[in-house]
Amino acid sequence: METTERERIVIPDENGDEHLFDVLFTFDVDETGKSYMVLVDAGDAESDDEEMEVHAFRYEETGEGDDDLQLFPIETDEEWDIVEEMLNTFQEGEDDEE
């Protein structure tokens, strides 16, 4: 099995502690013009455990660099449905590679 280097992002929590996440994938929804990012804790991604907690956010780029973005919580059921559908498609693709 080939390992791929994933993009990593640091997200501070409400206490200001920084946590490292791996970006599983990003996608855009043409109908709404919104972009989404699906993340997994970097520690979980490196373990052999099958169960990983997945986090999803809507994001907007705030500058010209790759690091200049702002994350927003997903608040509507419609957005969660879109994210779940994309996550299922992503997982099917991962299963096909094994």
What tens digit of pLDDT does each residue of 26-70 get? 999 999 999 999 999 987 655 555 677 899 999 998 876 656 789
User: Quick one: tokens of 76?
Assistant: 């509507």
With beta carbons less than 8 A apart as the criterion, state whether 7 and 23 touch.
yes
Give 2's contacts (C-beta < 8 A, 6+ positions apart): none
CA gyration radius for the chain? Answer: 14
pTM across the whole model: 0.78
Position 20 pLDDT exceeds 80: yes
Position 2 pLDDT exceeds 50: no
DSSP annotation string for 27-65: EEETTTTEEEEEEEEHHHHHS--S---EEEEEEEE-SSS
Q: Tell how far CA 23 is from the center of its chain.
A: 5
Q: What is the mean pLDDT of the chain?
A: 84
Please tell me the predicted confidence (pLDDT) of residue 39.
94
